[in-house]
Amino acid sequence: MRILALSLPSLFLVPVSAPVAAAQPKEIHQTLPLDPKGEFSLTTFKGEVKLAAWDRSEVKLDARIEADPSCGDDAYQAERIKNTEIRIRSSPAAVQVSTEYPQQIPYGGEGCSSAPFVNYQISVPATAKVQVLDHKSKLQISNLRADLRVQTHKGQLDIRGLEGALNLETHKGTGRATFSKWAQASRFETHKGNLEIVVPKGAGINLDASLGRRGQLDSDLVGVQDRASSGRIQKALNGGGPELQLTTFKGTFRLVQG
């Protein structure tokens, strides 16, 4: 019996890597009780914050953590999202929220590292005190009737319908703060930012502006020069009232009537 050896053509298998899915966002949704006279604070780094007042005795928090595609591949970005957390401490008197990033690990040893964006949408009691500590987010805050404190390094600001006092500090942030009522002293300090302050028409103000060597104040209020630079300006506007303190080294303030 003859046994035939059949020669089969060789089959070469080329390994194919499965594509890595794009980094998926992570979402957090919480509703937390807060006394109408309580305090809310947010500490964040970059992204967007939309914070608005409502008539409920609670905080509604929606947060979305998204990849920053400027650095690293999908797998790297997905890991960064996975390890970014929203920390919440809550009691009826105070709610504290903070963005917690993991250690900045350079991608591929190339020296680039980029934290995810964190976008917040928040509702708080209208009469609660609010504090926002930020680095470079877009901040939109509206219709608060109590005091507001904001610190941002280079964020973009849009504050609307504020009835309480505002304490604002920024290095080079830009934007506008609009008051619907001028009833309490407020303070603005910037190193080289550009800020517009809108007060109700006819509001009585004690203005105290300290302008550095390259600081500037533009205004359409009676009693203030159209444009002033350097030095200190102290004026009682419209008969005087709660103090407005402005401090800058080389930034620009614009003070206008709404």
List average pLDDT for each run of 10 residues in the chain, which is 258 residues long. Answer: 36 46 89 98 97 98 95 89 96 97 69 86 98 97 98 97 98 98 97 97 95 89 66 91 96 93
How far is 242 from 185, CA to CA, in rounded Å? 5
Query: What does the pLDDT read at residue 54?
Result: 98
How far is 250 from 19, CA to CA, in rounded Å? 51
pTM, entire model: 0.88
Query: What does the pLDDT read at residue 228?
Result: 64
Distances (CA, A) of 86 to 97, 99, 179, 192: 7, 5, 31, 31
Query: What does the pLDDT read at residue 114?
Result: 83
Query: What does the pLDDT read at residue 121?
Result: 98
How far is 237 from 239, CA to CA, in rounded Å? 5
Find the largest Cα–Cα distance for the chain: 122
Query: What does the pLDDT read at residue 6?
Result: 33
Distances (CA, A) of 229 to 37, 217, 226, 232: 40, 6, 10, 9
Query: What does the pLDDT read at residue 229?
Result: 67
Query: What does the pLDDT read at residue 231?
Result: 84
